């Protein structure tokens, strides 16, 4: 049953003017109290606070934004036309980290999913409209238009994952990013396999248009510069793609005794194929994945040895860098950060 005596104040939201009137001060003073209370005597501060409480005053966001030119919102742009994102817990975890850290900064998260070039107009209009103070972008593809748009409109941005231009060796200080040490993590994984005495270590790679996949290939080659071409097989970061790549690999090189797989999903597909073919893991073939996605790596048979990256922490870090940039009056850009990885040993290697 609805409230029988509805409060008339409920529908008409009180304004700062009303608070000031009730507290018996001017609107300017009320405003000062609401924004921290600096330069106002304690008794008046208390009066205003009381009036705010009694009236249930909540500042009008639009009015405040209009004058401060700040709106306390950050856009998260994910450019991922493939279906993969939505079956990959990676983004969800990163967004969780981002959400938590944004909450700590009293900022809101506006989610922009980009699918196809047509959407870029929309994003452009949105950014140009000044709806958000900054952007957290996930630029996954090498042919991405996003960096150009962001540069053009000078929107403070932090990237998740090393953007392509940086991968070309042209680190742009105006496009800071947060990424895990893909190359170093890959090196550690391959070294681990080598240290187990494996002689023929293969690599199932991710899609070549993703920087993280390329970096992991580089890490593999750092340790095994002389590995045969055919030992590196392309995959697409999906379970099925991993299974196909493993099949291809076994057919081409029956002597393979270890595989470093570029992510956990593909590794789970690879494990399935190995099991179907009666190949023992890790006795005959040792397998190491990448990501340490709990729902996958702990559920495989056998449980997957893999390279952990702290996805949620990376999300939080992105927010911190962006806030640093927004709150530094100087407009100085923060440095990019590469977070460490850690080899998690389970049963598969």
CB 181 within 8 A of CB 343: no
Q: Which two tokens stand for residue 127?
A: 């950014």
Check if the beta carbon of residue 306 is closer than 8 Å to that of residue 267: yes
Give the DSSP per-residue string, 241-276.
HHHHHHHHHHHH-TT--EEEESSHHHHHHHHHHHHH
Residues ≥6 apart with Cβ < 8 Å to 258: 193, 196, 198, 200, 201, 202, 285, 286, 287, 288, 349
| Least distance from DNA to the Cβ atom of residue 93, Å | 35
**In Å, what is the CA distance from 5 to each residue of 2, 8, 9, 237?**
9, 9, 12, 59
Which segment (33-41, 109-117, 119-127, 315-323) binds DNA by CB under 7 A? 33-41
Cα 309 to Cα 293: distance, rounded to the nearest angstrom: 9
Contact between 66 and a second copy by CB under 8 A: the answer reads yes
Burial of 83 (0-12, 13-18, 19+ CB in 10 A): exposed
Q: How far apart are CB 304 and DNA at their closest, in Å? A: 52
Which among DNA, a second copy, none contacts residue 17 (Cβ within 5 to 8 A by kind)?
DNA
173 lines the binding site for a second copy (CB under 8 A):
no
4 belongs to the binding site for a second copy (CB under 8 A): no
In whole angstroms, the minimum distance from the beta carbon of 72 to DNA comes to 11
User: For residues 19 and 223, which CB has a smaller minimum distance to a second copy in the complex?
Assistant: 19
Determine the size of the site formed for DNA (CB under 7 A). 26
- Find the binding residues for DNA in span 45-84 (CB under 7 A): 57, 59-60, 63-64, 66-68
287 forms part of the interface with a second copy (CB under 8 A): no
Q: Which does 335 bind (CB under 5 to 8 A by kind): DNA, a second copy, none?
A: none
DSSP3 helix / strand / coil % (the chain, rounded to 5): 45, 15, 40
Nearer to DNA, 4 or 329 (CB): 329
Nearer to DNA, 1 or 67 (CB): 67
Rounded (5°) CA angle 30-34-36: 120
- 86 binding a second copy? (CB under 8 A): yes
- Residues of this chain that bind DNA (CB under 7 A): 13, 15-17, 24-29, 31-32, 34-35, 39-41, 44, 57, 59-60, 63-64, 66-68
Residues of this chain that interact with a second copy (CB under 8 A) are 2, 10-11, 13, 56, 58-63, 65-66, 71, 73, 76, 85-87, 89, 91-93, 95-96, 99-100, 103, 108-113, 115, 119, 122, 125-126, 128-131, 151, 154, 238-240, 268-269, 272, 293-295, 298-299, 301
């Amino acid at each position: 049953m609805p409230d029988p005596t509805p409060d008339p104040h409920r529908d008409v939201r009180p304004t700062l003017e009303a608070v000031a009137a009730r507290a018996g001060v001017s609107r300017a003073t009320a405003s000062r109290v609401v924004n921290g209370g600096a330069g106002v005597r304690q008794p008046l501060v208390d009066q205003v606070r009381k009036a705010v409480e009694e009236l249930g005053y909540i500042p009008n966001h639009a009015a405040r934004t209009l004058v401060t030119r700040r709106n306390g919102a950050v856009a998260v742009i994910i450019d991922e036309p493939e279906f993969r994102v939505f079956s990959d817990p990676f983004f969800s975890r990163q967004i969780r980290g981002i959400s938590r850290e944004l909450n700590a900064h009293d900022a809101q998260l506006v989610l922009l999913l980009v699918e196809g070039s047509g959407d870029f107009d929309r994003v452009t209009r949105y950014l140009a409209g000044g709806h958000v103070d900054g952007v957290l972008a996930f630029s996954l593809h090498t042919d991405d238009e996003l960096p150009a748009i962001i540069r053009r409109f000078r929107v403070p941005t932090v990237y998740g994952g090393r953007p392509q231009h940086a991968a070309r060796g042209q680190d742009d200080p105006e496009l800071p990013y947060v990424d895990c040490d893909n190359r170093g993590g890959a090196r550690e994984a391959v070294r681990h396999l080598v240290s187990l005495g494996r002689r023929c270590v293969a690599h199932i790679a991710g899609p070549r248009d993703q920087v993280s996949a390329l970096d992991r290939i580089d890490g593999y080659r750092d340790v095994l510069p002389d590995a045969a071409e055919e030992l590196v097989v392309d995959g697409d970061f999906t379970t099925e793609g991993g299974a196909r790549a493993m099949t291809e690999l076994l057919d081409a090189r029956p002597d393979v005794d270890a595989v470093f797989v570029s992510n956990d999903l593909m590794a789970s597909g690879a494990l399935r194929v190995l099991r179907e073919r009666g190949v023992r893991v890790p006795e005959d073939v040792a397998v190491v994945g990448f990501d340490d996605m709990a729902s996958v790596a702990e559920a495989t048979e056998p449980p997957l040895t893999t390279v952990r990256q702290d996805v949620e922490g990376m999300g939080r870090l992105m927010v911190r860098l962006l806030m640093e940039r927004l709150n530094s009056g100087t407009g100085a850009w923060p440095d990019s950060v590469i977070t460490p990885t850690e080899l998690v040993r389970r049963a598969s290697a």
